Amino acid sequence: MTYLLALDQGTSSTRSIVFDRMGRIVGLAQREFTQHYPQPGWVEHDPMEIWHTQRDTLREAMNRAGVQPRDISAIGITNQRETTVVWDRRTGEPIHPAIVWQDRRAEPTCADLRAQGLEDKILQRTGLRVDAYFSATKLKWILDHVPDARRRAEAGELLFGTIDSWLIWQLTGGQRHLTDVSNAARTMLMDVHRNRWDPELLGHLGIPAAMMPEILPSSADFGRVSGDILDYPIPICGVAGDQQSALFGQACFRPGMAKNTYGTGCFMLMHTGERFLVSENGLVTTSAAQVDGRPAYALEGSVFVGGAVVQWLRDGLRAFTRSSDIEEMARSVPDSDGVMFVPAFTGLGAPWWDPNARGTITGLTRGTTMAHIARAALESIAYQSAALLQAMGRDAQAAGAQALQALRVDGGACVNDLLMQFQADLLGIPVLRPTMVETTALGAAFLAGLQAGVYADIQELDSLWRIERQFDPGMPADQAAEHLAQWDRAIRQATVG
């Protein structure tokens, strides 16, 4: 048997999954790790805790699968994107906690970039809007606020990386400082037309080029696992940011195909092929996973708080014990009874891009129960995702591209049938849930398998995708439009001032 090992380092947990050649799971291990909130709007992780959970789950997944390291053809890595780590080149020790993609502390730097008139240049070079979401301003914050960091960086003593680079460095025993094009595209520092770091943007932010990892295609030779980690040097052959990896794992290889991942946040990507489209509707353009050196792009919209709203109800309001309990609670009422929940805990992402928005619950009456709020919370995930798809549709129409025919879904919350049916109702197109919903990890395994020769080409991967359930829209179009209009009113209340 041929096996592939995917390392899936997410925002709230770290996982390792062993797949067989047909894309079936034969071993899985997962560990949550600590979320740190030192100030309002700040979110941090301990890079060493991330590494230790990844190393431990890697070993545990192979044990559960009953395979030895030499049975693994290749390793693929997929990761939470934009999260920023800076470490000492010599010791490998981080100089500051990782600043997580959700963190908003760098917004003043973004305001400075806008004031300098750099927004359009950054959009055209990187495909991204100026926002604290991306890595560049987080990295500048570390250099500006950690004592002696800037001098050490200029002296070549410090290295920067997103989580993929951090894991590659650890896995290879400090031998390889690399990233892939899909992760580099999320830093706001890469020229996505040339797949290289942009010297002018580095200069504007005062970031030494010596800190930056080498950029490779997503399916490439990223080194081998050190003997300190495993007794066999498994090659690392695939790397992609989690959302581009999910797009790949969903077999969305052709222009016009789209997927939405329902995780801590929600992330919708539509493949645009070799066309670099600048959105006129609040989306960003990103590099898709690249396997052969040819350009590949996608339009992307990001919802900052998706499944995290369920965690908030569970942990903050103690509305239920397990996240999975929300569906039963929400089904106990026929609808939200007019309650609208805008979970703008850290501002709003695409297509609004309002860092000052705050969470609101509207439409409360004396008859409102926790079940209504739970249903409104679930529906908020679908509403935010519908706004992304509407924006993509407008961009596609303006570019003369075909309208989206169906949406492929994955991520933890896609197993919620109530949510998926409401999503199809709002969108007016089928929502397709595959038999393998772990498509983020599967995409990394596929990328690794291509480089390792396990698969011949993407056509072979396309044949492995299977549908588990199709949710067809059942709500009249005028009723769906009224729901969306009600959501728009709630958004305006969340963004006042």
pLDDT, tens only, 291-312? 987 889 999 998 888 888 988 9
Please report the domains of the chain, with CATH numbers, ordered by start residue.
Answer: 3-242 (3.30.420.40)
| Sign of the four-CA dihedral 386, 387, 392, 398 | positive
CA dist 323 and 240 (Å) reads 28
The mean of the pLDDT values for the chain is: 93
The pLDDT of 227-249, averaged and rounded, is: 95
Among 80, 111, 274, CA closest to 193: 274
Q: For residue 16, what are its two tokens?
A: 């390792």
Whole-number CA gyration radius for the chain: 22
122 is written with which tokens? Answer: 């950054």
pTM value is 0.88
Phi-psi group of 472: left, alpha or beta (phi > 0 → left; psi -120 to 50 → alpha; rest → beta): beta
Q: 342 Cβ partners below 8 Å, 6+ apart?
A: 348, 357, 359, 360, 361, 362, 380, 490, 491, 493, 494
Least confident range from 317-326, 398-407, 425-434: namely 398-407
The reply to whether omega before 69 is within 30° of 0 (cis) is: no
Beta bridge partners of 42: none
Decide if pLDDT at 322 tops 70: yes
Considering only the C-alpha atoms of the chain, give the largest distance between any 2 of them, rounded to a whole number of Å. 64
pLDDT in tens, 188-236: 999 999 999 999 999 999 999 999 999 999 999 999 999 999 999 999 9
| Per-residue pLDDT at 29 | 97
Label residues 273-291 b or e (16+ Cβ within 10 Å = b).
beeebebebbbbbbbbbbb
Question: Quick one: tokens of 283?
Answer: 């989306």
Cα separation of the two ends of the chain = 60
pLDDT of residue 346: 80
Looking at the predicted structure, is the pLDDT value of residue 278 above 90? no
Provide the token pair at 491. 């958004």
Q: What distance lies between CA 16 and its chain's CA centroid?
A: 17
φ, ψ of residue 468 to 5 degrees: the values are: -100, -40
Q: Is 138 exposed, middle or buried (0-12, 13-18, 19+ CB in 10 A)?
A: buried
Which of 267-276, 402-411, 479-488 has maximum average pLDDT? Answer: 479-488
Pick the more confident residue, 162 or 283.
162
pLDDT for 494 beyond 90 = no
Residue 496: pLDDT above 70? no
Q: What is the pLDDT of residue 341?
A: 95
Question: Would residue 221 be called left, alpha or beta, if left means φ above 0 and alpha means ψ between -120 and 50 degrees?
Answer: beta
Tell me the per-residue pLDDT of 398-415, one tens digit each, with 9 for 90 and over. Answer: 877 677 889 999 988 898
How far is C-alpha 361 from the geometric centre of its chain's CA atoms? 26
pLDDT at site 314: 93
Q: What is the pLDDT of residue 356?
A: 85
Confidence grade of residue 428 (pLDDT, cut at 50, 70, 90): very high
**Contact assessment for residue 337 and residue 293, using Cβ atoms and an 8 Å cutoff:** no
Count Cα neighbours of 53 within 13 Å in the Cβ-side half-sphere.
21
Q: 338-354: per-residue pLDDT in tens?
A: 999 999 988 888 888 88
